[in-house]
Chain A
Amino acid sequence: MHPVTTVHYLALSAALLLIGTVGVLTRRNIVIILMSIELILNAVNINLIAFSHAWHNMGGQVFAIFVITDAVAEAAVGLGILIALFRNKETVQADEIDLLKW
């Protein structure tokens, strides 16, 4: 078995990023789209921590904290928008919200 190197972590992070992207692009349920965005942000964090560990540099971990902060803000605002939307349109399917389409 090969020892685990930075590349392994980067490949794992890329795979998680792709899974999250597939979720965002293909699902109709807005709650699950928001969860996929969390997956993408976690992929970014794995990357940051891997480089932080490889270079013995704290900067990566500090940036991971900022990413987590933004993930919290994004989840709070996104779910607030979702609740407002559900109250007006009675749906959580992304492609049924087409007020600006014709």
Chain B
Amino acid sequence: MLDTVLFYSFAVLVLGGGIFTITRRNAVHSAISLIVSLLGVAGLYLLQQAEFLFAVQIVLYIGGIMVLFLFVIMLVNLDDAAHVREFNRQWLVALVAVAVVGAELGYFFHRGAASFHVAGAAAAVPIAADNTGALADSLFSEYLLPFEIASLVLLVAVVGSVIMAKKRI
């Protein structure tokens, strides 16, 4: 019961924040709404016993990426952007296309809802009491090579963004 109430309140946060993000004229307001949406997603992680990802979501997304976004918004000074058209010319086509995809997904969930119920196979595996420890075990043994590749991706991204933002290349 409490789970259901929490799920729906977080879902309202996520979807409401998302809708405000894409409809606000002022980019700072959009960023604040995106923070609300990300907080809702963090709550959903907590509801599903992914405590480590909950912390990562707050620290990395809200503390890292969103502050970066706010810095860039201040840097590019969007004052005159507040007076021009908000949406581009093909918005109607985009909405129709997305509505079609949404109808397909809705039909898919409606018809296939029963097949998502997991049979006995998963229930046999106990849920880890120590989420962070279990995640580390998995990450540093089974997924060690992808982990190292991810660190390489981060290094390339850091070097790339520094070069991109330099005055003269």
Contact = CB atoms under 8 A, between A and B. Distances in A.
Contacts of B85: 28
A58 B89 contact: no
Contact of A56 (B1, B106, B126): B126
Interface centre among B134, B154, B167 (most CB of A within 10 A): B154
Interface string B109-143: 10001001110011101111001001101110011
Q: How large is the interface on A (under 10, 10 to 19, 20 to 34, 35 or more residues)?
A: 35 or more
Interface in B35-80: 37-38, 41, 44-45, 48-50, 52-53, 56-57, 60-61, 64-65, 68-69, 72-73, 75-76, 78
For chain B, give the interface size range.
Answer: 35 or more
A87 to B, nearest CB: 8
Interface of A: 1-12, 14-16, 18-23, 25-29, 31-32, 34-36, 38-39, 42, 45-46, 49-50, 52-59, 61-62, 64-66, 68-77, 79-84, 86-87, 92-95
Given A28-B85, A95-B88, 10 more contacts: A4-B3, A12-B15, A15-B15, A62-B143, A65-B53, A68-B61, A73-B154, A83-B72, A83-B76, A87-B167
